Amino acid sequence: MAVRRITAEVAGAVSEVVVVLGQAVAAEDTVVFIECMKMQLPVVSPWAGTVRAIHVEPGALVEEGQVIVDLEA
């Protein structure tokens, strides 16, 4: 088991955090939505695993490549 970092693919404002600490997610599950170009763009987990840290909250501005969630996978 290793900690893997889920990063934002786009810059924008976090509009919704979908997961909670300790939650199990499957690959392709959405963990956070980012508002960008007037749309709700999902940040999708590339792996299955357990959420170990959430680095953003609603309203936070994020940059492309910023770490959003740590996943134990």
Partner 1 sequence: MSTSKPETPAAQPAQPAEPQDWSSEIAELRRRQAAAREMGGADKVRIQKEKGKWTVRERVDALLDPGSFREIGSITGMADYGPDGELAAFTPANSIFGRGRIDARPVVVAGDDFTVRGGASDAAIHEKQVQAEQMANELRLPIVRLIDGTGGGGSVKQLETTGHTYIPANPGWNWVTANLSTVPVVCLGLGPVAGLGAARLVSGHYTLLLREQGFMFAAGPAIVSALGRPVTKEDLGGAMVHARSGAVDDIAEDEADAFAKARRFLSYLPSSVDGLPERGETTDPVDRCDDALDAIVPHDRRRVYDMRKIVRAVVDRDSFFELGRYWGKASITGLARLDGWPVAIVASDPMIYGGGWTADTADKLNRFIELAETFHLPVVHLVDIPGVVIGIEAEKAGTIRHAARALASVYQASVPWCSVIVRKAFGVAGAGMTNHTRFRYRYAWPSGDWGSLPIEGGIEAAYKAQLEASDDPAALRAEIEGRLNAVRSPFRTAEKFGVEEIIAPRETRPLLCEFANLAAPLRRPGPTGFGFRP
Answer yes or no: are the C-beta atoms of 71 and 24 closer than 8 Å. Answer: no
CB of 21 to partner 1, least distance (A): 25
- Tell whether residue 26 is a contact of partner 1 (CB under 8 A): no
Identified binder of partner 1 from the candidate list 1, 20, 22, 38, rule CB under 8 A: 38
Spatial CA neighbour of 29 closest among 56, 6, 53, 2:
6
Q: Which is nearer to partner 1, 29 or 42 (CB)?
A: 42
- Tell whether residue 18 is a contact of partner 1 (CB under 8 A): no
Query: Which one-letter DSSP state was computed for residue 46?
Result: S
Answer yes or no: are the C-beta atoms of 73 and 47 closer than 8 Å. Answer: yes
Contacting positions for partner 1 (CB under 8 A) = 9-11, 36-42, 44, 63-64
